[in-house]
Structure 1
Amino acid sequence: MELNIIWFVLLTVLFGGYVVLDGFDLGVGMIHLGLKSDLERRTSLNAIGPVWDANEVWLITAGGALFAAFPDVYATVFSGFYTAFMLFLLVIIGRAISIEFRGKVESDKWKKTWDFIFCLSSYLIVLLLGVSLGNIITGIPIYQDKEYAGTFFTLLNPYAVMTGITAVLLIRMHGKIFLAVKTEGEIQQRVAKGINSSLILFVIAYIFHGAWTIILYPGVIKNFVAFPVWFILPAFIILSIIVIPGFINSQLYFRAFVASCTIIAFCIAIAAIDIYPNLVISNPNPENSLTIFNASSSQKTLMTMLIIACIGLPLMFIYKIFVYRIFRGKVKLDNMSY
């Protein structure tokens, strides 16, 4: 397998890992304001407290890998999406501050302020990422010199916004399932009751988004037509959607969480297959597209980075397993809690 393809797969894994893991943190943030009491909101914060910052390591690693392996893509995307990324940076900082400061104030007014920022920033992070993904799938205007030819508002096209809304609904459901896994008693029962309705909303949006994609952008499924074996991915997504209500009704919340993770991971995989071998599609001039071949670093750089990744990624996986093992089980509040 060529190094360019290996790095494309690694980037997909890294971005997918971020969405799956930080996704439940963001999903918990989305439903945070819907929790009734201060005790319940503290419980939700402590459900993600030990892991939320570590989960963001996946995003940092993915960004570093993109810079090292495909510098032209990094330059085009980060310069073209500059306003969007600055907004993303602002809300991700706001989310971090709200999590840390909320438990350090006694004023109910300030607690409500941090609760609002936590919830709003969680929604905006997912929406912005979804809008970015929508633009990556359909393409953006790029000059021959690999410069972005649009504006911030070019990114806010209807399809990209619909992708963002679909992502929000999926991650919101993901967060509810995770909170059901980590809690017990009244809060667990109330959160669990809302999972099936969240699933229905996501399914409606997913079907609409999928139909929109196939009808208006039929070229994105060319790799599925060429290699029908990839249709197993949407089949697994459908299967996961079908089994979640049964798991919820049987109070098998962890199994439902695994199914939710499967949906997210395979959605990311499908998006990667849709655009391959492109990384940034140029629309309406496909000849200007940035691919894994014309936008990559040298083969020597790719090999050097692969060696580093082979050392660093297993350590990151081991660390993640260790953290999740240490903090497994239901949330218990104490004096050190948020």
Structure 2
Amino acid sequence: MDLNTLWFILITVLFTGFFILEGFDYGVGMTLPFLDTEEDRLMAIRSIAPVWDGNEVWMITAGGALFAAFPHAYATMFSAFYLALFLMLFALILRGAGLELRGKDNNRLWRHGFDWAIAIGSALPALLWGVAVTNLLAGIAIDDHMIYQGTFWDLLRPYTLFGGLTFLLVFLFHGIAFLRLRIADERMTSSLLDGQRIIGILAAFVFVICGVMTLHDTDMTASVPAVIALVLAAVTFLLSCLFSAVHACGKSFFMSTCAIALTTIAFFLALFPRIMVSTLGADLSLTIYNASSTPYTLQIMTVAAGILVPIVLCYQAWSYYIFRKRVTREDIA
């Protein structure tokens, strides 16, 4: 295995971790305006309060790894998705401000307004990540100078919009599964179950349809491992919905985690060795070789990653262990 492939695998792992961890963060945030009482909303926020900002670090680390290992792909991606990334940044700022400022005033309108800020700041990135990921595999207009030749509206095709909707609903389901696992309150978890059943049916439907569209609108079928991973992702998500219906909260969350991981892996397997697919010609696609840094840079970054990534993983695992206790109404009081 060469260093180019190793860094592609590392970026895959980072994005997989990001979608799993930030996925339930986004899902919890989207539920806030629809929870029954102020206590319910406080418990929901308490469930992610110790970890939400740490989860976002996975996105920063993945972006940094992409910049360090494949700077040409980083430049093309950020110019092609410039407006989408600007909207995502705005949404993340809105969400962060909502989580930090919501409790600064007891005024009902103040808190209700920030509930919607958190919900919008969670839903918009989920939608945009789905659009971005499906665009990477479906392909965009990249010329022989690695420059995007389209517009923002060219990114919004039926398939990619459906991909965005799939990410949004799956993350919402994942977030509700997390809440049911983390909240120790029978009334609230019973209420969440009713909502999760509806979201689960919608999410399962769009998940399967999006998978069929992926096989039809992209070249994923050229990679047998990618197809297997995508099929397994659909199966595990359906199992998550079934476990949710029989009140097996832990198994439901585990299966939705597996579904998100397998979906991410499927897309990266289908991309490999490409990073961005060009619709203007197969030879114009950005790969782990024509978009990479110099071998010396990859060597230095590999040493740095080998030292720092395990430390970060251990620290985050420790933080989850410290805050493992389920949230109760007594905690809010």
Structures share a fold, TM > 0.5? yes
Query: Residue in 2 aligned with 1:208?
Result: 209
Say whether the 8 Å CA contact 1:33–1:119 is kept in structure 2.
yes
Q: CA deviation at 1:215?
A: 2.4
Q: CA deviation at 1:10?
A: 0.4
Whole-angstrom CA distance in 1 between matches of 2:208 and 2:234:
11
Say whether the 8 Å CA contact 1:27–1:173 is kept in structure 2.
yes
1:11-68 Cα distance to aligned partner (Å, 9 max, x none): 0100110010011010011111110111111111111101000001100100100000
Are residue 328 (structure 1) and residue 324 (structure 2) matched? yes
**Shift in alpha-carbon separation, 1:2–1:257, aligned structure 2, 3 A:** same
Query: Residue in 1 aligned with 2:82?
Result: 82
Three-state SS of the structure 2 residue aligned to 1:129 is helix
**Shift in alpha-carbon separation, 1:253–1:138, aligned structure 2, 3 A:** same
TM-score under structure 2 length normalisation: 0.95
Aligned length in residues: 332
Structure 1 residue runs without a partner (length 5+): none
Query: Residue in 1 aligned with 2:138?
Result: 138
Q: CA deviation at 1:301?
A: 1.0
Whole-angstrom CA distance in 1 between matches of 2:60 and 2:322:
23
TM-score under structure 1 length normalisation: 0.94
Q: CA deviation at 1:182?
A: 0.9
Paired amino acid for 1:29 = G
Whole-angstrom CA distance in 1 between matches of 2:215 and 2:23:
26
Are residue 266 (structure 1) and residue 262 (structure 2) matched? yes
Q: CA deviation at 1:247?
A: 2.8
Paired amino acid for 2:326 = K
**Shift in alpha-carbon separation, 1:158–1:236, aligned structure 2, 3 A:** closer
Paired amino acid for 1:280 = M
Whole-angstrom CA distance in 2 between matches of 1:86 and 1:216:
27
Are residue 233 (structure 1) and residue 229 (structure 2) matched? yes
Three-state SS of the structure 2 residue aligned to 1:54 is helix
1:173-217 Cα distance to aligned partner (Å, 9 max, x none): 000100000112211111123223222211211221122222233
Q: CA deviation at 1:318?
A: 0.5
Whole-angstrom CA distance in 1 between matches of 2:303 and 2:221:
33
**Shift in alpha-carbon separation, 1:125–1:107, aligned structure 2, 3 A:** same
Q: CA deviation at 1:265?
A: 0.3
Query: Residue in 1 aligned with 2:280?
Result: 284
Q: CA deviation at 1:250?
A: 4.1
Whole-angstrom CA distance in 1 between matches of 2:330 and 2:238:
38
- 1:294-309 to 2 correspondences below 5 Å: 294-309=290-305
**Shift in alpha-carbon separation, 1:306–1:190, aligned structure 2, 3 A:** same
Query: Residue in 2 aligned with 1:125?
Result: 125
Structure 2 residue runs without a partner (length 5+): none
Three-state SS of the structure 1 residue aligned to 2:105 is coil
Which range moved further: 293-302 or 232-241? 232-241
Q: CA deviation at 1:80?
A: 1.8
Say whether the 8 Å CA contact 1:4–1:296 is kept in structure 2.
yes
Flag as ranges the 4+ runs of structure 1 deviating above 4 A.
Answer: 229-232
Three-state SS of the structure 2 residue aligned to 1:188 is helix
Whole-angstrom CA distance in 1 between matches of 2:330 and 2:144:
59
**Shift in alpha-carbon separation, 1:242–1:113, aligned structure 2, 3 A:** closer
Paired amino acid for 1:193 = D
Which range moved further: 201-210 or 267-276? 201-210
Three-state SS of the structure 1 residue aligned to 2:180 is helix
**Shift in alpha-carbon separation, 1:246–1:151, aligned structure 2, 3 A:** closer
Query: Residue in 2 aligned with 1:36?
Result: 36
Three-state SS of the structure 2 residue aligned to 1:279 is strand
Say whether the 8 Å CA contact 2:40–2:188 is kept in structure 1.
yes
**Shift in alpha-carbon separation, 1:118–1:329, aligned structure 2, 3 A:** same
1:254-274 Cα distance to aligned partner (Å, 9 max, x none): 221111100000000000011
Q: CA deviation at 1:333?
A: 5.6
Say whether the 8 Å CA contact 1:40–1:187 is kept in structure 2.
yes
Pairwise CA RMSD: 1.7
Which range moved further: 246-255 or 154-163? 246-255
Q: CA deviation at 1:120?
A: 1.0
Query: Residue in 2 aligned with 1:161?
Result: 161
Are residue 100 (structure 1) and residue 78 (structure 2) matched? no
Paired amino acid for 1:319 = Y
Say whether the 8 Å CA contact 2:227–2:266 is kept in structure 1.
no
Three-state SS of the structure 1 residue aligned to 2:163 is helix
Paired amino acid for 2:162 = M
| Percent identity of paired positions between Structure 1 and Structure 2 | 36
- 1:18-37 to 2 correspondences below 5 Å: 18-37=18-37
Query: Residue in 1 aligned with 2:250?
Result: 254
Query: Residue in 1 aligned with 2:181?
Result: 181
Whole-angstrom CA distance in 1 between matches of 2:212 and 2:246:
32
Query: Residue in 1 aligned with 2:306?
Result: 310
Whole-angstrom CA distance in 2 between matches of 1:275 and 1:330:
39
